[in-house]
Chains A and B, each alone.
Chain A
Amino acid sequence: GENVEQHPSTLSVQEGDSAVIKCTYSDSASNYFPWYKQELGKRPQLIIDIRSNVGEKKDQRIAVTLNKTAKHFSLHITETQPEDSAVYFCAATIYNNNDMRFGAGTRLTVKP
């Protein structure tokens, strides 16, 4: 099955700086890569996703990039704000396969 590795496990940045979280996956058949954000004590929620037919997707201050050849994808958050502080999870799966396996998570802290 798919194996997703995520780095770093913790990340601390100053407000206004950028944050980058990286994931690698093992199954070359995977073609769907979502990112979930989990605020303290809350449930994970989807914030952005990308399919393998594109290399980059943006939504305001967040963007995801995908390198299918190298089997890695990254989450980029620009102009970070304290409310971005959370645990972020990546996942890799086959679109509509519904077998969603997550990376270990990255705890992002944005210092005001």
Chain B
Amino acid sequence: DAGVIQSPRHEVTEMGQEVTLRCKPISGHDYLFWYRQTMMRGLELLIYFNNNVPIDDSGMPEDRFSAKMPNASFSTLKIQPSEPRDSAVYFCASSREGGANVLTFGAGSRLTVL
């Protein structure tokens, strides 16, 4: 397996633009997580899915953020409109049911909003 695949690896955009981050979890993994990493706040859990269903989105900062998982092999995190304070590295991770909570992270998407 190629692991958790994220795209894009880097994105630079201007304030107000829509940003879409993509993630392909490991095949067979039932859980998918979106984390945001900043120097100030560390690794924050934004939302996680189980079998494509959102379980907990309490970490999503505000209505500008939305996440979907239309099928077992794809998820998106969308920010609309983006703001400079959204600049961060966004990680997607997956794990399997009964997998002892072991998270496999993607390489991350570094977002810069100017």
What is A's interface to B at a CB cutoff of 8 Å? 1, 32, 34, 36, 42-46, 49, 89, 93, 95-105
Contact = CB atoms under 8 A, between A and B. Distances in A.
A101 B48 CA distance: 11
Q: Which 10 A-B pairs have the closest CB atoms?
A: A43-B105, A104-B42, A102-B43, A105-B42, A98-B31, A44-B105, A46-B102, A43-B107, A101-B45, A32-B101
B50 interface: yes
Interface of B: 31, 33, 35, 41-43, 45, 48, 50, 55-56, 58, 91, 95, 97-98, 100-103, 105-108
A53 to B, nearest CB: 13
A98 B100 contact: no
Contacts of B100: 32, 49, 95-96
A100 B105 contact: no
B42 A98 contact: no
B95 to A, nearest CB: 6
